[in-house]
Structure 1
Amino acid sequence: MAAVFLKKLPLRTITTENRCLRCLGKCIVQELALAQLPRTASAPRPAYLTHAKAFSTVEDTQAERKKKEKNETDFSNIGRKISERIIHLFDEQGNDLGNMHRAEVIQLMDERDLRLVKRKPSAEPPEYQLMTGLQIHEERLRLREREKARPKTGPTLTKELMFSSNIGQHDLDTKSKQIQQWIEKKYKVQVTVKKAKNTEEPENKIQEIFNQILQTMPGIATFSSKPQPVKGGKAVMCVLRHLSKKEETAYRETQQTQEGDPLNKKNGTNTESGVLHQ
């Protein structure tokens, strides 16, 4: 038993020595690698330059002024809240009272039982006017009517409609009503009529279809683009639009002339087509 233990003892000693040598070798390699590194610390990388918006009280003031003027388009009584110290004042008759301190203006409002409205806030000093409640109400109505009369700006939308030349009368009447609804909403309507296949039809049939559509909207629509062949002659396309104010006036004058002229009634002169097919 002792002999076996003595035989195993050298083997364990050798194994332990080999493990120590491997650990020592790893430590030496790590130290050599650290020694090869530069001793001076690397300089930090410069941060990327970013374009920052410069602080400007001028731009901020202009933006606030534009926003303020936009909110002040509503004609209303500002009460006793006068932000400026000195203002240029007009009375309820439109007479120029000159520059006045806001305390004097408030006192004048109380004495005459008047309201104060802004007349020209962008002026220096800003212009205000004293008005009665009735004057303010009438001015609001006037501004509202002027806003309604102002033409709406923006692109004109176009609706598209396509059908065959052998369309039935009932379907054509339905499509004509749809076109009229679009025209009344100020849309442009692009109508494309395809020539029927394997059908002998007069050359002017498609033109008659367009004229029939247009005759359902007297005094409302006209050609924006007259009928012209498309798709290699396999179809005809036109664009309809609403009459302008000038064209509507001319149409009404023509109708009045026709109704008052017995010769036109006798001969049945069709003056509508002259206006509609401009």
Structure 2
Amino acid sequence: MAVLLNRLMLQTSVGRCFRKHIMKPAPAQLPLTASTPKLWYLVSTEGFSTAEDGHGQKKQKRKDAFTNTGRKISERVIRVLDEKGSDLGVMHRADVIRLMDQQDLRLVKKNTNSEPPEYQLMTGAQIHQERLRLREDEKASPKTGPAVVKELVFSSNIGQHDLDTKSKQIQQWIEKRYHVQVTVKKKKSADQPENETDEILNQILQTMPGLATFSSRPKAVRGGTASTCVFRPLSRKEEKAYRDSQEAERRDTLNTDHRTTESDVLCQ
């Protein structure tokens, strides 16, 4: 009996040691938020990014190309034009500033590449009007890139009313600075004039004086069964040349009428 009791005590002691050293309790699981340390330096620097971060990048304010230089004249000696465009000659910047103060004028850069650099005195109203003109020119100027080409195809037996409608549509596209390719198909008739399609294209151009010209002149296509051309808007230089020619023609007409009137008076 004593031997059995000792054996039970020994088994109990061994079991306790086994559970104590082998079956250790699992450590408490750390919370997920503690498993990965926060990178505070990444969070704090993101808000201060101005160049690499698209959201934090500062937008550069657009500088007007036509601005008042004020009293900050970097050059010591400059050429000066008055508010009417007359040349005042070469002046020291101190004299220019004194002249600005006396006449309440502003100073605007005209040509800084010349020697000496050229500036002009202008009133505030003149500067405002010039800025408006430059903005209108910028809006009206064609965008960079290939020109947008519109296309029209119709037959040479088109009626005058329909031709007028087509011409107005072409003019609207030209005013939007589009190029317009027009193809006129010859009607199937033996008595049709050889150059009838070319005459129709020239007639369309005559409806847009001072607006358009040929980008490519009328030429035969489709084996001679049609004629095509491309109209384009006039450039700024061409528009100015057209206005100048019209003004010169108007003056010539007025001078001719004036001489005719004087001749009639003398004859009486």
Tell me which interval the TM-score lies in, with the shorter structure as reference length.
0.3 to 0.5
Q: Using structure 1 for the length normalisation, give the TM-score.
A: 0.46
